Amino acid sequence: MASETQVLVDDKSSVRILTLNRPKQLNALNSNMITLLMQLFLEYEEDPNVKIVILKGQGRAFCVGGDPLPVFRDIVIQGLGKSWRVGADFFSEQYKLDHFMATYSKVQISILNGIVMGGGAGISVHGRFRIATEKTVFAMPETELGLFPDVGASYFLSRLPGFFGEYVGLTGARLDGAEMLACGLATHFVPSSRLNALEADLCKVGSSDPVTFASAILNAYTKHPKLKQHSAYYRQVLDVIDRCFSRRTMEEIISALEKEATEKPNEWISATIRALKKASPASLKISLRSIREGRFQGVGQCLIQIITTTCLTMQGCRAVVIDKDRNPKWEPRSLEEMKDNMVERYFERVDEEDGWEDLKLSPRKNLPALIIAKL
Amino acid sequence: MSENCALRRANVLANHILQSPPHPSNNSLAREACLQYTPPEVNESYGFQVKEMRKLLDGHNLEDRDWLYGIIIQSNLFNRKERGGGKVFVSPDYNETMEQQREISMKRIMYFLENGVFQGWLTETSPEAELKKFALYEVCGMYDYSLSAKLGVHFLLWGNAIKFFGTKRHHEKWLKDTEDYLVKGCFAMTELGHGSNVKGIETVTSYDPRTEEFVINTPCESAQKYWIGEAAIHANHAIVISQLEINETNQGIHVFIAQIRDQDGNICPNIRTADCGHKIGLNGVDNGRIWFDNLRIPRENLLNSVADVSPDGEYVSAIKNPDQRFGAFLAPLTSGRVTIASCAIYSAKVGLAVAIRYSLSRRAFSAVANGPEVLLLDYPSHQRRLLPLLAKTYAMSFAANDMKMMYVKRTPETNKEIHVISMGLKALLTWHNMRTLQECREACGGQGLKTENRVGHLKGDYDVQTTFEGDNNVLMQQVSKSLFAEYVSCKKRNKPFKGLGLEHMNSPRPVLPTQLTSSTLRCSHFQKNVFCLRERDLLERYTCEVAELQERGKSREFSFLLSHQLSEDLSKAFAEKAILQAVLDAEAKLPAGSIKDVMGLVRSMYALICMEEDPSFLRYGYLSRDSVGDVRREVSKLCRELRPHALALVTSFGIPDAFLGPIAFNWIEANAWS
């Protein structure tokens, strides 16, 4: 596929509709798409005619995140020595895009009509409006891959109600549209059959204030769907989540869950424990720490911390994604073996002598009003 | 920035031209003229790694602290409020009644319990476990000092009394249950008639060999237990400090366990309690009063690590001297003082973070006609008000950390030193906090009066720190007396000084230069010499004066009383020098770089502001009038040099935004209509 068609652009007077167009790869982001998106978003921010930017995906996914395969392949070919540098280039572009969106002065509306994972969340959740539908499936599956939720997830997960963010980030639990709306990851819920009409209405923005205008249109379309029967967002499950995922360490979280499971066994709790036991112990501890630190950081700081951690994580965990036998052998193998000082290493500053540079986020004008991201 | 200036100018001009009420069509222009909030981060840059500085300041258990901050912020129990653009704040609701505040405080403690916050607080004894306890305790106090006070009563007073005064049988029976809150303890020591003077307590306990029971009595109204935290409602057990009378001989102060309520919270027979009522702060703590009317408790309830009574009523103690016995009883109060001092510094940090962030976003008056208004912290006078307090808070933070380390690694040999240092620092740090909060409150102007902005209300809550666990003035007198004893004992035995930081007394008296240049004033060697000289000279004067009075036939105690002025100067000199030493030690460990540089500025500011503020330097001639003038000029210079670091220095406190008030952030949006 020609690289320029990987992001389709539809020009509707004051509205630009961008469609991620790699449906076979579930719209996974490659560096070409990231560069294109960055160029387009930059251009629209400057262009006084553009009021609203709509971002959506072709096919059954919105976006499953950064496409890690080329990056990992490069790491293997180039050997260990320079591995972080290759990753750093890919991820720093992606995080710069996330940051740009988080501080965007125009209205971004992401239509999440399908799968949203990892980096897909990074290019949508930071934006002003996120529309879920009955087809939405959201997950941060990184711990299962030996990575950890990046793309500013430590910012937005840590700001979900109670300890739901820890739950979503650590277990990789799937959320549907109704749950996304309930926890605040989505701002609206619109049935997919109404999306075309919604887009058409949004295109009538004219000279009115785009935020007020878009809010009014979206509020008119939004539905309040019922949570599914076994949703984790029902009060009694949320209470368990808050009781267990608030614990100080990963070990304590798991033992709290196990205690609950003995006292009141149910399918949700066994699935949750299974997911945690299957995940990389190193990833779990790094993810927990990253969410906990993220709670006190601005979105920019979260991204700067994350790139350091990501690149270090990739060195440690790279073998897993490439060996696709689905039976990963984690190193270290247990939570107990992943000591505090080993976790600490991922959060320390990398020495500048090694040629490392912290992520440089471009200073944003209008930052005063927008220094707090929109979630 | 230049764009902003230009815009502001244009607006000032526009307003000037449009002095009559603006024409309706000029609405947009009028709106542009409004003030805009600019976060301090936009115009201030960090000259050093704030994350690294935070590691130095907090010193230990950063992740545990962050975890506790996080579970407070994420829970609905902590009066979470969104203000101004989705910014979340947590702070107690001070508009609740005293009864409501007590109940919600207890609920918060139960929430911590469920989350394992108190795990090992009494049952683990390693230095690591104690440091973790200190860290979590400090975080509780930053949310609401009522929580710390309640926990202090339960763990540090009730729990530690059992731990230190009790023996195996008490430990097994009580410690784990206390940690799990199956029993709720209080500590009944102070009485209406006796607070600091514990020896004078009037509650009296006798022994009945027929039933093998102790009988506790409140013989008169002044013997009622008073100010007993948790006694009004929550506690079901009490440590009772009482005189012990065996066969009509008073054996002095002893420590007992008494149940005061049953598991349902009903008062036990032979006990009367009453409420101490509404207070100027800390209303989450149910302070109460207790009377004992022939209350009988089992013989085993005497905490018998120091002394015991046999079943047939014979008194046995390993320590024969009642004075020493008394000293052994009071030793556990040290841990209380250590936590009080460290909590005081965290409170000062909250005040300074709020006031300095506000001063970096609030403007007042223009320096030139029609020019932009000046940022508060760009006024030299405002710098002078806040930055020296900031430097002192830094210095005291290091001293508090050293004290905690010394405490958790304590040995019988270091006990005396910890005792003296903890008295001095408890007094100095809690006074410093009160003074800092008042200055910060004023620096926040009217906004400082709102409880949501934290600073003002902290004053009411933390005020008690200057009184409990030893009145500050009494503690400082004790410090001087201890130094006196040390001096006399070294001179008498003709031995060199060792410990308490007095080793400098073994060297010749330092000579200070007459001409003080800027670089001399900032030299750590010079600063240390000045502080040593003051301490040494005051100690000599004090011992001399006390000795003279004794020679004239006054008793030792009375001589101390008469020498109160020197005593006050000496104890301050001692504690301030200990703090300087802590900063110097922290600084010496740092590699060359931006953090060391800024620490040097902070240390110099601390040293010089102490010199400027304490009249002793001039009174006793350690510094000449000219030198004092030089010190004052240098303080002003240091204010200018610290000004660019102000934001980074308060950010390094590591306090989550949610723990500060709305005025520390976008106070325009936080106060906007709707």
Average pLDDT score over residue span B355-378: 94
The answer to whether the CB of A70 falls within 8 A of the CB of A30 is yes
| CA neighbours closer than 13 Å in the CB half-sphere of residue A140 | 28
Average pLDDT score over residue span B285-293: 98
Q: What percent of chain B has pLDDT over 90?
A: 86
d(CA B123, CA B351): 34
Give per-residue pLDDT as tens, A37-83: 999 999 999 999 999 999 999 999 999 987 766 665 555 555 444 55
Handedness of CA B414, B419, B425, B428 (dihedral sign): negative
The answer to whether the CB of B15 falls within 8 A of the CB of B32 is no
Distances B364 to A113, A236, B37, B372 between C-alpha atoms, Å: 51, 52, 13, 9
User: What is the pTM for the complete model shown?
Assistant: 0.91
Catalytic residue among A66, A87, A152, A300: A66
What is the band of A362 on the pLDDT scale with cuts at 50, 70, 90? Answer: low
d(CA B139, CA B137): 5
Q: Residue B229: name the closest of B276, B196, B266, B192 by CA.
A: B276
The answer to whether the CB of B218 falls within 8 A of the CB of B243 is no
Using beta carbons and an 8 Å cutoff, which residues of B are at the interface with A? 36-39, 41-42, 49, 51-52, 63-64, 66-67, 69-71, 73-75, 85-87, 114-116, 654, 656-657
Q: Which residues pair with B246 in a beta bridge?
A: B249
> Which of A293, A372, A374 to substitute to test the interface with B, most B CBs within 10 Å?
A372
Is A146 among the catalytic positions?
no
Which of A162, A247, A372 shows the shortest C-beta gap to B86? A372
Q: Residue A240: name the closest of A213, A268, A271 by CA.
A: A268
How near does any CA of chain A get to the CA of B107, in Å?
A: 15
Which of A163, A371, A372 shows the shortest C-beta gap to B74? A163
> Which of A168, A212, A241, A295 to substitute to test the interface with B, most B CBs within 10 Å?
A295
The answer to whether the CB of B497 falls within 8 A of the CB of B505 is yes
Say which residue the tokens 């700081």 belong to: A301
How near does any CA of chain A get to the CA of B560, in Å?
A: 51
Lowest mean pLDDT among A143-147, A349-353, B307-311, B370-374: A349-353
Catalytic residue among A67, A98, A150, A166: A150
- Kindly list the residues from chain B whose CB atom is less than 8 angstroms away from the CB atom of residue A243: 114
Is A260 among the catalytic positions?
no
ipTM of the complex: 0.86
The total number of residues shown for chain B amounts to 674
Is A293 among the catalytic positions?
no
d(CA A294, CA A153): 8
Give per-residue pLDDT as tens, B386-421: 999 999 999 999 999 999 999 999 888 888 899 999
Is A66 among the catalytic positions?
yes
Give B371's contacts (C-beta < 8 A, 6+ positions apart): B9, B12
Distances A262 to A87, A181, A268 between C-alpha atoms, Å: 43, 31, 13
The torsion region of residue B371 among left (phi > 0), alpha (psi -120 to 50) and beta comes to beta
Size of interface A-B (CB pairs under 8 A): 56
Q: What is the pLDDT of residue A342?
A: 85
Q: Which residues pair with B375 in a beta bridge?
A: B363
How near does any CA of chain B get to the CA of A292, in Å?
A: 7
Give per-residue pLDDT as tens, B57-67: 999 999 999 99
Q: Residue A97: name the closest of A32, A143, A50, A165 by CA.
A: A32
The answer to whether the CB of B239 falls within 8 A of the CB of B188 is yes
Say which residue the tokens 């440690």 belong to: A316
The answer to whether the CB of A44 falls within 8 A of the CB of A101 is no
Q: Residue A289: name the closest of A250, A336, A255 by CA.
A: A250
- Kindly list the residues from chain A whose CB atom is less than 8 angstroms away from the CB atom of residue B674: none
Distance of CA A318 to the CA centre of its chain: 20
Give per-residue pLDDT as tens, A177-216: 999 999 999 999 999 999 999 999 999 988 889 999 999 9
d(CA B634, CA A129): 54
Q: Which residue of A has its CA nearest to B119?
A: A248
b (16+ CB within 10 A) / e for A329-355: ebeeeebeebeeeebeebbeebeeeee
Give B49's contacts (C-beta < 8 A, 6+ positions apart): A349, B594, B595
Q: What is the pLDDT of residue A75?
A: 52
How near does any CA of chain A get to the CA of B357, in Å?
A: 15
Handedness of CA A287, A293, A295, A299 (dihedral sign): negative
